[in-house]
Amino acid sequence: MATIKLTFPDGAVKEYEAGVKPIDVANQISKSLAKKSVSAKLDGHYVGMHDEIKHGGAFQLITTADAEAGDILRHSASHLLAQALKRLPKFAEMHFGVGPYIENGFYYDTDNGAGNQVSVEDFPEIEAMMHKIVKEDLPILSRKISRDEALKMFANDPYKIELIEDLPADEPITIAIQGDHIELDKGGLVPSTGWIKHFKLISVAGSYWRGKSDNPVMQRIYGTAFWKDSDLEADLQRRAEAKERDHRTIGRDLDLFFTSQEVGSGLPVWLPNGATIRRQVERYIVDKELENDYLHVYTPVLSNLNLYKTSGHWDHYRDDMFPPMDMGDGEFLELRPMNCPSHIMVYKHKPRSYRDLPMRIAELGMMHRYEKSGALTGLSRVREMTLNDGHTFVEPEKLEEEFKSILQMMMGVYEDFNITDYRFRLSYRDPENTDKYFDDDEMWEKSQAQLKRAMDDLKLDYYEAEGEAAFYGPKLDVQTKTALGGEETLSTIQLDFLLPDRFNLTYVGEDGQDNHRPVMLHRGIVGTMERFTAYLIEMYKGAFPTWLAPLQVQIIPVNLGAHGQYARKVQKQLQAAGLRAHVETKDAKMGYLIREAQTNKIPYTLVLGDDEIEGQTVTVRQYGQDQTKTMSLADFEGQVVADVSNYSRE
Ligand code: ATP
Ligand code: ZN
């Protein structure tokens, strides 16, 4: 019998008979190790616990204590899901795409053709079948097969056939067998179905086969699995909280905005409550910019297509732009995807002198981008958006100074909004894919280095990302997390040596010559109103600080007839102080109305009855507090006004 040598992670080398199984190797070391070994690796490739080891090499057992074991468990759970689906008569004809593990979960892409579509109502039945298969404790074995065998074996599975055909000719094909179920699979699976005990199906969503929008839409079924029930419970709890925090959920509950197919995908409608938050943000940022010498303008959302040909958007950004509109008279109009060319036109409108610089042009600029329908999300990724945009035209030697001052302004704004959880990303061009960017190696090297130097000077932490630059230059992005766990750019500052060239921008220098070239900085401090509002909703979980709250004071008269008039007087006085106050006229029980004000997360609720009229006072309940306080109307007004001007919520 041939022998093989296995080298363990600690360097020990042991000899075994060829064909030994990882489970035997583990058992020889200790029973307890065998019990918690999930899978093994030979020279970095997975070997199942019950598969034969044919040759020697670096050998490692993966136990439930290893993080990788979680991936193995969730990967196995996706197979378990597929097997269960196939056993249910209504899904027996289902076709399967891919079923990988993902962070803290797994999914399987499925296609039941014209048959029953999977819905969450089916989950209990599917989970019950999964549990049944777990009880059967079917061993999971892997086997190498030839390409011809594979094509025959999966002849009824068009997606699998496509996957097999896409494999390079020399790539070995392996399958995983668990009872009556066979998967095309590279390995990394638990020893038997009995290992998968604590799992749950989570959701189902449409998704294009291989993520390409001209491919068929499949049903992606998501689930998760853990070694311990308590970990599963904790994860489900986290998911429930994330959902509760999701700006789409809160947006619906608090009547902030809606999106609908009737209006069009990615085109949110701002309801009065959401519009109020947005208006506050807009007023705030415009005032802040005026204080910082920005010149605010209004420019059209539609422009002559030639503008975007000159800028280079048409060559480098066309995939994100809507098709041009033929006006029939030789003119083509384009919905702008960015506001830069418009602001460049403002600069170009008159000769400029070095004395005018830095010239800061700003606008709440509406723009349109052709985002893929699969990427659209509530307010955070839309097709029509309004950017708090600004473009600074500056002498080249003042570029870093201007960059730093924008950054300082941005951090001041973040403080006012209480935003603390973010990371700076320096976004460079992708050196492997340079045709997406303007072709000027020297410019890229220089401006990327300049950006980095400015950040180092300011001693700010950042990370670097290739392939995230704008086509005209590198940028500093502020990255934040969404409730769903994804990362998004909230604010951005971008360096640009190119558009000034493309548009032949000049200024008169101290030498009196009108041939000096300014540099441009693009920046969005609060980014788009859409994404920023989505961010605020999730950050505050809908409990906005008073200055942003759609309604600041809810006034509830104990009895509308007897106390309505006083309630209106209080409302008028608060409104005159610039506050948003509303008198509740609904005919409902007091307790209900107070609870409703809390559910709507209104910062202040006033209850007004006989005593309050007599003393010209108000009885106040603050959001999230149980006690009430009675005070004079003037004191209350003073308190709320102070609260508003402090920005943050106590
Ligand atoms: P992303 O990588 O998120 O698509 P981008 O890098 O293309 O964004 P920029 O051109 O830098 O974005 O746009 C400026 C700002 O516009 C971004 O910081 C972001 O806040 C916002 N933004 C971009 N695309 C969208 C969108 N589809 N919906 C809402 N806001 C957006
Ligand atoms: Zn710009």
Strand-pairing partners, residue 643, are: none
The pLDDT assigned to 640 comes to 96
Do 7 and 77 lie in one domain? The reply is no
CA distances from 149 to 52, 82, 146, 155 (A): 21, 21, 5, 10
Protein residue whose Cα sits closest to atom 12 of ligand 1: 489
Closest C-alpha to 648, from 535, 544, 539: 544
Is residue 260 situated within a structural domain? no
The pLDDT assigned to 481 comes to 82
Both tokens assigned to 172: 């070995």
Q: Which residue in the block uniquely carries the two structure tokens 């009885």?
A: 619
Dihedral of CA 279/283/284/289: which sign?
A: positive
DSSP 130: H
Q: Which atom of ligand 1 is nearest to the CA of 376?
A: 27
Protein residue whose Cα sits closest to atom 8 of ligand 1: 489
Do 463 and 602 lie in one domain? The reply is no
Do 52 and 72 lie in one domain? The reply is no
Max intra-chain CA distance, the chain = 103
Amino acid at 498: L
Is any atom of ligand 1 closer than 6 Å to the C-beta of 274? no
The pLDDT assigned to 309 comes to 96
Ligand closest to 475 (CA) is: 1
Residue 100 has phi, psi (to 5 degrees) of -90, 170
Protein residue whose Cα sits closest to atom 11 of ligand 1: 492
| Distance from the alpha carbon of residue 489 to the mean position of ligand 1, in angstroms | 7
Amino acid at 138: L
Is any atom of ligand 1 closer than 6 Å to the C-beta of 320? no
Quote the CA–CA distance of 206 and 485 in Å, as a whole number: 19
pLDDT under 50 in the chain at which residues? 650
Is any atom of ligand 1 closer than 6 Å to the C-beta of 384? no
Strand, coil or helix: 75: helix
Which range marks the domain in which residue 626 is found? Answer: 553-645
Do 218 and 286 lie in one domain? The reply is no
Is any atom of ligand 1 closer than 6 Å to the C-beta of 530? yes
Protein residue whose Cα sits closest to atom 3 of ligand 1: 489
Is residue 256 situated within a structural domain? no
Ligand 1 pocket, mutate which of 492, 499, 536 (most atoms under 8 A from CB): 492
Quote the CA–CA distance of 644 and 572 in Å, as a whole number: 18
Do 231 and 284 lie in one domain? The reply is no
Is residue 247 situated within a structural domain? no
Do 221 and 330 lie in one domain? The reply is no
Ligand closest to 496 (CA) is: 2
Is any atom of ligand 1 closer than 6 Å to the C-beta of 369? yes
Q: Where are the alpha helices (DSSP H) in 554-630?
A: 560-576, 590-599, 610-615
Is any atom of ligand 1 closer than 6 Å to the C-beta of 387? yes
Protein residue whose Cα sits closest to atom 7 of ligand 1: 470
Contact at 8 Å (CB) between 632 and 616?
Answer: yes
The pLDDT assigned to 471 comes to 84
Is any atom of ligand 1 closer than 6 Å to the C-beta of 337? no
Preceding amide of 358 cis, omega within 30: yes
Ligand 1 pocket, mutate which of 370, 380, 472, 531 (most atoms under 8 A from CB): 531
Quote the CA–CA distance of 6 and 25 in Å, as a whole number: 10
The pLDDT assigned to 150 comes to 92
Both tokens assigned to 150: 């594979």
Q: Which atom of ligand 1 is nearest to the CA of 389?
A: 14
- We report the CATH number of the domain holding residue 592 as 3.40.50.800
Contact partners, residue 474, CB within 8 Å, separation at least 6: 426, 427, 428, 429, 444, 447, 448, 451, 494, 495
| Distance from the alpha carbon of residue 481 to the mean position of ligand 1, in angstroms | 14
Quote the CA–CA distance of 96 and 79 in Å, as a whole number: 10
Contact at 8 Å (CB) between 524 and 405?
Answer: no
Ligand closest to 343 (CA) is: 2
Is any atom of ligand 1 closer than 6 Å to the C-beta of 299? no
The pLDDT assigned to 130 comes to 98
| Distance from the alpha carbon of residue 311 to the mean position of ligand 2, in angstroms | 11
Contact at 8 Å (CB) between 6 and 43?
Answer: no
| Distance from the alpha carbon of residue 323 to the mean position of ligand 1, in angstroms | 19
- We report the CATH number of the domain holding residue 14 as 3.10.20.30
Residue 144: CB atoms within 10 A of its CB come to: 9
Quote the CA–CA distance of 388 and 437 in Å, as a whole number: 24
| Distance from the alpha carbon of residue 647 to the mean position of ligand 1, in angstroms | 26
| Distance from the alpha carbon of residue 604 to the mean position of ligand 1, in angstroms | 35
Closest C-alpha to 594, from 567, 552, 623: 623
Element (H, E) at 637: helix 633-645
Residue 104: CB atoms within 10 A of its CB come to: 16
- Structural domains counted in the chain: 4
**Domain end (from 40, 63, 86):** 63
Ligand closest to 387 (CA) is: 1
**Domain end (from 489, 508, 540):** 540
**Domain end (from 11, 33, 63):** 63
| Distance from the alpha carbon of residue 528 to the mean position of ligand 1, in angstroms | 7
| Distance from the alpha carbon of residue 150 to the mean position of ligand 2, in angstroms | 52
Is residue 186 situated within a structural domain? yes
Dihedral of CA 492/429/212/336: which sign?
A: positive
Closest C-alpha to 6, from 17, 273, 167: 17
Is any atom of ligand 1 closer than 6 Å to the C-beta of 382? yes
Element (H, E) at 67: helix 67-87
Sheet of strand 332-335, all strands in order from the earlier edge strand to the far edge: 302-304, 332-335, 325-326
The pLDDT assigned to 243 comes to 86
Do 213 and 357 lie in one domain? The reply is no
Both tokens assigned to 190: 């638990």
Quote the CA–CA distance of 317 and 436 in Å, as a whole number: 8
Is any atom of ligand 1 closer than 6 Å to the C-beta of 500? no
Residue 134: CB atoms within 10 A of its CB come to: 19
- Which tens digits make up the pLDDT trace of 501-524? 999 999 999 999 999 999 999 999
| Distance from the alpha carbon of residue 194 to the mean position of ligand 2, in angstroms | 57
Is residue 619 situated within a structural domain? yes
* Burial of residue 311 (number of CB atoms within 10 Å: 0-12, 13-18, 19+): buried
| Distance from the alpha carbon of residue 384 to the mean position of ligand 2, in angstroms | 16
Do 237 and 290 lie in one domain? The reply is no
Is any atom of ligand 1 closer than 6 Å to the C-beta of 528? yes
Q: Which atom of ligand 1 is nearest to the CA of 478?
A: 18
Do 433 and 412 lie in one domain? The reply is yes
Is any atom of ligand 1 closer than 6 Å to the C-beta of 527? yes
Do 604 and 513 lie in one domain? The reply is no
| Distance from the alpha carbon of residue 104 to the mean position of ligand 2, in angstroms | 38
- We report the CATH number of the domain holding residue 525 as 3.30.930.10
Q: What ipTM describes this predicted complex?
A: 0.95
Ligand 1 pocket, mutate which of 317, 437, 489 (most atoms under 8 A from CB): 489
Q: Which atom of ligand 1 is nearest to the CA of 380?
A: 29
Contact at 8 Å (CB) between 552 and 580?
Answer: yes
Residue 219: CB atoms within 10 A of its CB come to: 19
Do 19 and 74 lie in one domain? The reply is no
Quote the CA–CA distance of 445 and 466 in Å, as a whole number: 13
Is residue 258 situated within a structural domain? no
Closest C-alpha to 410, from 247, 532, 549, 275: 532
Is residue 253 situated within a structural domain? no
Do 343 and 467 lie in one domain? The reply is yes
Protein residue whose Cα sits closest to atom 26 of ligand 1: 381
| Distance from the alpha carbon of residue 325 to the mean position of ligand 1, in angstroms | 24
Closest C-alpha to 288, from 379, 399, 364, 365: 364
Is residue 19 situated within a structural domain? yes
Chain-centre distance for alpha carbon 180: 39
